[in-house]
Amino acid sequence: MIRILKAGLETSIQDYPGRLGYWNQGFPPSGPMDSWSFRMANVLVGNAPGAAALECQFLGPSLEFGSDTVIAVTGADMRPAIDDEPIPLWHSIAVKAGQTLALSAARTGARAYIAFAGGFANPEMLGSRSTFNKAGVGGIDGHSVKAGQDLPVLDGRGTPGLAVPGGLRPDIRTDKAWDIEVCAGPNDDWIDVAGQERFLTSPWTLSAKSDRTGFRLDGPRWTFAEKATNKPKEHGSLPSNIIDHGYPMGAINLAGQTPIILVNDGPSMGGFINPYTVPSAAFWKLGQAKPGETFHFKLVSVAQAQDLAVRIARRCVAGNLVKA
């Protein structure tokens, strides 16, 4: 068991790739925002890359170990410490029963990941252990962890003293500006040429009104193509309205003049256009961005986005680890 002493800010159990195949019934994939850091944490402790682990958002938790185990902390720098002694990120660490792990506020990045040898043993719901807070599904009792809870862990045997080489880790920025890949579509033709150029050349600021459902962006006004302003009535009155259709994960959903990136707990469909889509390989950047930081969007093809995803997956394997 892992006992939660302090919960942190919406610390939750997630697994990868999350809850697939139920979006049409209202259950999004959930899973980790930064799946690169998440998978690396699991690989470090000898788990499968997708095993259930903790996602810690902005402010980390404090935990007490019920037995000897091996852990790893990756992602945002929340200054992890065991019994008040700092430990390195991106390393596998042996811990003893009764010791405590404490994470504080994120110094760089936004989300840290804690993996434990064996992974969590909370019940699977709809094929996943991931937490979907808004529906009370997965995790422990359907919600983020709470102080006083005991989290069950499966048997596992990790190897301490391993590390992820620097070149295989995501480059979690400290300059508060992010270059985010996007693919055009599915509704890019509803935006005029000037509006498309403006989107790709302007800075966009991540709003504090953001969560695991959607990342709201502040930036310049959008301008629309003829098909958005001269359309059948069933599409709605605003240029950004369209007859209800499916949303891809990562869609930049345009609600009036406000773009919202639909992330892990986002809706599956609705009546707004989606001019661009952030591919899964760029989600780690979204997961490590804080409100007030700036996004610059870079257009890539679907083939380029798929290649990025393959390259990340090839890094998240045990054969890439080195002795610390």
Percentage of the chain surpassing pLDDT 90? 97
177-313 placed in CATH 2.40.100.10:
yes
- Res 174: pLDDT: 78
The continuous run of DSSP H or E covering 252 comes out as strand 251-255
The continuous run of DSSP H or E covering 217 comes out as strand 214-218
Q: In the chain, which residues fall in CATH 2.40.100.10?
A: 177-313
AA identity, residue 293: E
Rounded Cα–Cα distance for residues 180 and 253 (Å): 16
β-sheet bridge partners, residue 74: 113
- Res 64: pLDDT: 98
Asked whether residue 175 carries a pLDDT value surpassing 90, the answer given is: no
Residue with tokens 């997956």: 313
Residue with tokens 């509803």: 190
Q: What is the mean pLDDT of residues 270-295?
A: 97
Strands 214-218, 258-262: pairing is: antiparallel
User: Can you say whether the dihedral through the CA atoms of 164, 169, 172, 175 is positive or negative?
Assistant: positive
**Coil vs helix vs strand at 203:** coil
Q: By mean pLDDT, which of 42-46, 183-187, 229-233 is the weakest?
A: 229-233
> Over the stretch 66-90, which tens digit does the pLDDT of each residue have?
999 999 999 999 999 999 999 999 9
DSSP-assigned letter for residue 7: -
> Over the stretch 98-122, which tens digit does the pLDDT of each residue have?
999 999 999 999 999 999 999 999 9
Residue with tokens 């043993």: 121
Say what the pTM is: 0.96
**Directed axis angle between helix 302-315 and helix 35-44, to 10°?**
20
Closest residue by Cα to residue 50 from 22, 18, 73, 23: 18
- Res 176: pLDDT: 87
- Res 218: pLDDT: 97
3-state secondary structure 52-103: CEEEEECECCEEEECCCEEEEEEEEECCCEECCEECCCCEEEEECCCCEEEC
- Res 119: pLDDT: 97
β-sheet bridge partners, residue 82: 85, 101
State the Rg of the chain over Cα: 20
Rounded Cα–Cα distance for residues 32 and 118 (Å): 18
